[in-house]
């Protein structure tokens, strides 16, 4: 039995499959055989995967190079019995860990969500008796009976099918239910075209059938996707990659400087104790302790901003990644489109009508040549709409202000178009009650209904179906006034070609009469003599907002690619309507299967529309785009999207129509299923990355200046101008009260007109590094110079150190206003546009006064009061630094304008 799992079941005759699975089509499996197979194959569920526990997730917060240095520094200061310093350093480490742990997204639960999709019941035939069981108890070889409303419990090869239609959109991306039949198919038939197979998680929307189970649990197509998810590597984001690189570079630099400093001190005759303290001061000064906390909190602020714009972030790093996105790979059904079939064109009485509005909401107009018309003015149009309403088994319902369909999506579209024209669905069905019907069957390609006519008139027959099936039964057609005229098949075929070229699905309608009082309808009654009424063309229409969003993405330099499981013609039509570049250049799944991985990189880069694509191919396309250096965002809502969602730099799932599987695999969930929300999220992401860069450019000069001051003191053989505990005071208080206020900076104008950042570009450009060096050098000169000047003027070491600390803090305050824009003047971006900055500055000034003048703070941080003369020198350094940075930005702007 194990060897049967990989067979091409769609290519084998039903009798051979029954024999291979040792089953019986009439009796099913006997009870002993069911028991044996349950023990052998196990339950029909998808295996779970154990994730990281809470303790491990907390411990991983310490798994960062810079945190390692702080832990070692704290341990060294503790060994030296500098308990206050050690306690403050350990406190900083714990605060960072707690913030990261609290804000971290939930562990991946895609496998559990997949298991939930299979918790349903099934009707099986066992030992000759029908019985309803849990889907978990289904085994290979079981004969399962399906009817409308059932969820398919496992992968099955159909044995019988009567008008069976299955919604497989979650698995294949097909926008409409697929009509199934039991006949043998070619060996190389793709998954989406295997009409004699039904797959676990599919939903029966119409008809009935029976099939034999060929795969359960992990061996199903859904189970295969589960394995794809569990083996798919979740990538680091551009920001985490850059921060990791920066952290390692800083780690090696600090260790090298610490070793050199320690050796030089020993050579100069300094004590080991003093040199340990100096090395700790150097390490603490060079490390931007506030960076991890500020990074996490800034991203968390971004999460709150995005939530207000209908985007729920599940993983913090996704906030910044959106701003780096170079390619958005989007599913079609339910993402770019409404996922609701809509009639857009009607041909009746020799006239062509357009229907406005989308989805199942019956709000829209009937237009002729762009002008609204009263549908009642065209008898042929009204008859066509009436036929679509009466020859229909579905219901249109309104619940909680939302319109929903009960039944087939195609029939739902016909109901909506009729109601838009003013027809009363309930009243019309009561006026023309149905007496009998011929259900749709694939071999006939039509459905017909018999309705009671007027009291003294004949019965009325309406028929709908494929154009070919309806036309061959017609002898006449209706003109615009409702009169019978000669059937013009050539003109109708021309209409068909024009409407089908737009990717629309077409249904033809006809009308006939039967003797009064007839209550039965047979195929012979509709075989000939019918009157052709018209055509209705429908499509799953694009969202209006998606069209605008795609245009904005193109303006922002972001490529948009459609990757769908739907048909080539439909994909091309939607791509053209939403404004994708080169919409007619479509590559299908069959072609992708034959392309090598190396060639696929070029195909993925050059093509914007992919159709009839399998889950593995979606994953390959994402990997191919990433191989070219792209930062890829993947959107989707179905089970089939989950592996690619996880592999992409950022996965975006739909909140309303999205499956649990897709939501759990994604980094971000759109609460309104609106593609336009992605564009808004990209805009927020770019703003957040700008603000993170501003924070880094603001904070690093302080660390550079502190490190340079320590090195200068050691090389000069003088007392340290600032102590480790004072460095921690500077770094942590200013990071939270000053630097973090940059996270609230509003987005700068023109943020969505510039191209995406090159993923290979470092966080700090050459210009920004130069600025950091300038400010760091000014801090060295100002603090060291005023420290030495204070000692020369008779100040104590404590007073001189207090002066040096205040130089750092006041310079950071003035420099903060320079950093509100990396290129423009603070007045250009709006001096009062971010009131958080002013609040932070006021609180920082109060704390700095307490640091300088409060006895308890003097004891803890070894500070002491200073006079007005010293404050004058401190402010002079701060103002000078701010003026120099402003001049540097002005010179760069002038240079760029030339």
Residues annotated as part of the active site: 331
Name the residue among 384, 385, 378, 353 with its Cα closest to residue 367. Answer: 353
Q: Is 216 helix (H, G, I), strand (E, B) or coil?
A: coil
What would the two tokens of residue 71 be?
A: 């832990």
Residue 500 · residue 555 · CB < 8 Å? no
Rounded distance between C-alpha atoms, residue 143 and residue 154, angstroms: 11
Residue 559 · residue 608 · CB < 8 Å? yes
To 10 degrees, the CA torsion angle through 369, 375, 377, 382? 120
How many CA atoms does the CB half-sphere of 103 hold within 13 Å? 25
Q: Is 378 helix (H, G, I), strand (E, B) or coil?
A: coil
How many CA atoms does the CB half-sphere of 733 hold within 13 Å? 24
To 10 degrees, the CA torsion angle through 638, 640, 644, 646? 60
Phi, psi of 603 (to 5 degrees): -60, -45
Rounded distance between C-alpha atoms, residue 452 and residue 454, angstroms: 7
Name the residue among 316, 237, 320, 294 with its Cα closest to residue 96. Answer: 294
What would the two tokens of residue 208 be?
A: 């009935």
Rounded distance between C-alpha atoms, residue 898 and residue 881, angstroms: 26
Distances (CA, A) of 152 to 37, 118, 226, 633, 642: 20, 9, 17, 31, 20
DSSP string, 334-372: IIIB-SS-EEEEEEETTEEEEE---TTS----EEETTEE
Cite the beta strand spans of 60-192 per DSSP E: 121-126, 129-134, 143-147, 155-167, 178-179
Rounded distance between C-alpha atoms, residue 243 and residue 248, angstroms: 9
Other CB atoms within 10 A of residue 271 CB = 10
> Which neighbouring-strand residues pair with 608?
none
Name the residue among 538, 621, 556, 48 with its Cα closest to residue 330. Answer: 621
Phi, psi of 147 (to 5 degrees): -145, 170
Q: Which helix (H) or strand (E) holds 681?
A: helix 675-716
Rounded distance between C-alpha atoms, residue 560 and residue 634, angstroms: 10
Angle between helices 290-307 and 317-324 (to 10 degrees): 80
What does the chain come to in residues? 898
Residue with tokens 């219901």: 395
DSSP string, 826-869: TTTS-TTS-HHHHHHHHHHHHHHHHHHH-HHHHHHHT-----HH
């Amino acid at each position: 039995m194990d060897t049967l799992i990989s067979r091409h079941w769609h290519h084998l005759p039903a009798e051979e499959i029954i024999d291979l699975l040792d089953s019986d089509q009439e009796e099913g499996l006997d009870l002993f055989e069911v028991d044996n197979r349950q023990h052998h194959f196990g339950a029909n569920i998808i295996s779970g995967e154990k994730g990281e526990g809470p303790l491990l997730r907390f411990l991983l917060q310490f798994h960062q190079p810079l945190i390692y240095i702080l832990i070692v520094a704290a341990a060294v200061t503790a060994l030296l019995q500098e308990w206050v310093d050690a306690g403050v350093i350990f406190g900083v480490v714990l605060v960072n860990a707690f913030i990261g742990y609290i804000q971290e997204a939930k562990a991946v639960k895609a496998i559990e969500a997949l298991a939930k999709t299979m918790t349903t019941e099934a009707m099986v035939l066992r030992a000759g008796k029908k019985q309803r069981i849990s889907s978990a108890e289904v085994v290979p070889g079981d004969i399962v009976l399906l009817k409308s409303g059932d969820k398919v419990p496992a992968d099955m090869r159909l044995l019988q099918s009567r008008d069976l239609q299955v919604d497989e959109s979650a698995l294949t991306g097909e926008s409409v239910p697929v009509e199934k039949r039991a006949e043998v198919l070619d060996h190389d038939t793709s998954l989406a075209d295997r009409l004699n197979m039904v797959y676990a998680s599919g939903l029966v929307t119409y008809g009935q059938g029976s099939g034999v189970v060929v795969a359960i649990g992990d061996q199903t197509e859904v189970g295969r996707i589960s394995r794809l998810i569990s083996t798919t590597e979740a990538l680091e984001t551009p920001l985490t990659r850059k921060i990791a690189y920066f952290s390692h570079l800083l780690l090696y630099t600090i260790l090298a400087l610490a070793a050199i400093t320690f050796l030089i001190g020993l050579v100069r005759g300094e004590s080991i104790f003093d040199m340990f303290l100096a090395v700790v001061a150097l390490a603490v000064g060079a490390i931007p302790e506030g960076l991890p906390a500020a990074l996490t909190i800034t991203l968390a602020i971004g999460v709150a901003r995005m939530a207000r714009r209908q985007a729920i972030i599940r993983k913090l790093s996704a906030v910044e990644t959106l701003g780096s996105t170079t390619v958005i790979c989007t599913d079609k059904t339910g993402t770019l489109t409404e996922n609701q079939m809509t009639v857009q064109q009607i041909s009746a009485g020799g006239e062509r009508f357009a229907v406005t509005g989308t989805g199942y909401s019956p709000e829209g107009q009937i237009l002729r040549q762009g002008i609204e018309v009263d549908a009642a003015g065209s008898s042929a149009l009204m008859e066509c709409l009436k036929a679509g309403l009466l020859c229909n088994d579905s219901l249109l319902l309104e619940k909680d202000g939302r319109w929903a369909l009960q039944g087939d999506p195609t029939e739902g579209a016909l109901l909506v178009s009729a109601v838009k024209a003013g027809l009363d669905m309930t009243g019309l069905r009561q006026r023309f009650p149905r007496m009998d019907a011929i259900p749709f069957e694939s071999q006939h390609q039509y459905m017909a209904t018999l309705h009671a006519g007027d009291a003294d008139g004949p019965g009325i027959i309406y028929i709908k179906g494929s154009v070919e099936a309806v036309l061959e039964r017609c002898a006449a057609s209706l003109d615009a006034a409702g009169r019978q005229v000669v059937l013009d098949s050539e003109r109708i075929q021309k209409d068909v070609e024009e409407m089908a070229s737009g990717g629309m699905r077409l249904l033809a309608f006809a009308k006939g009469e039967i003797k009064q009082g007839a209550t039965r309808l047979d195929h012979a009654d509709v075989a000939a003599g019918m009157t052709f009424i018209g055509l209705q063309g429908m499509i799953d229409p694009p969202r209006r907002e998606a069209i605008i969003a795609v245009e904005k993405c193109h303006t922002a330099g972001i490529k948009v690619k459609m990757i769908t499981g739907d048909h080539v013609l439909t994909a091309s039509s939607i791509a053209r309507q939403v404004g994708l570049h080169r919409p007619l250049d479509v590559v299908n799944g069959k072609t992708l299967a034959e392309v090598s991985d190396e060639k696929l990189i070029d195909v993925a880069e050059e093509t914007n529309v992919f159709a009839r694509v399998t889950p593995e191919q979606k994953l390959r396309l994402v990997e191919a785009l990433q191989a070219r250096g792209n930062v890829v965002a993947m959107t989707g809502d179905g089970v089939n999207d989950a592996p690619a969602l996880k592999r992409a730099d950022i996965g975006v799932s739909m909140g309303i129509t999205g499956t649990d599987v897709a939501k759990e695999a994604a980094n971000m969930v759109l609460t309104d299923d609106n593609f336009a929300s992605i564009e808004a999220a990209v805009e927020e992401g770019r703003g957040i990355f700008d603000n993170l860069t501003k924070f880094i450019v603001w904070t690093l000069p302080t660390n550079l200046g502190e490190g340079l001051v320590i090195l200068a003191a050691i090389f000069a053989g003088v007392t340290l101008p600032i102590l480790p505990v004072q460095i921690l005071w500077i770094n942590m208080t200013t990071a939270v009260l000053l630097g973090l206020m940059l996270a609230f900076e509003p987005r700068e104008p023109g943020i969505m007109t510039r191209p995406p950042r090159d993923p290979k570009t470092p966080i700090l450009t050459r210009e920004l590094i130069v600025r950091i060096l300038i400010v760091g050098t000014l801090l060295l000169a100002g603090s060291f110079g005023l420290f030495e000047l204070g000692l020369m003027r008779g100040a104590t070491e404590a007073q001189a150190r207090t002066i040096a600390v205040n130089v750092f803090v006041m310079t950071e305050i003035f420099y903060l206003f320079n950093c509100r824009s990396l290129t423009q003047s603070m007045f250009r971006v709006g001096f009062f546009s971010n009131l958080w900055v002013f609040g932070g500055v006021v609180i920082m000034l109060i704390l700095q006064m307490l640091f300088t003048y409060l006895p308890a703070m003097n004891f803890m941080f070894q500070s002491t009061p200073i006079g007005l003369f010293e404050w004058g020198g401190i402010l002079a350094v701060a103002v000078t630094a701010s003026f120099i940075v402003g001049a540097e930005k002005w010179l760069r702007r002038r240079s760029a304008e030339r």
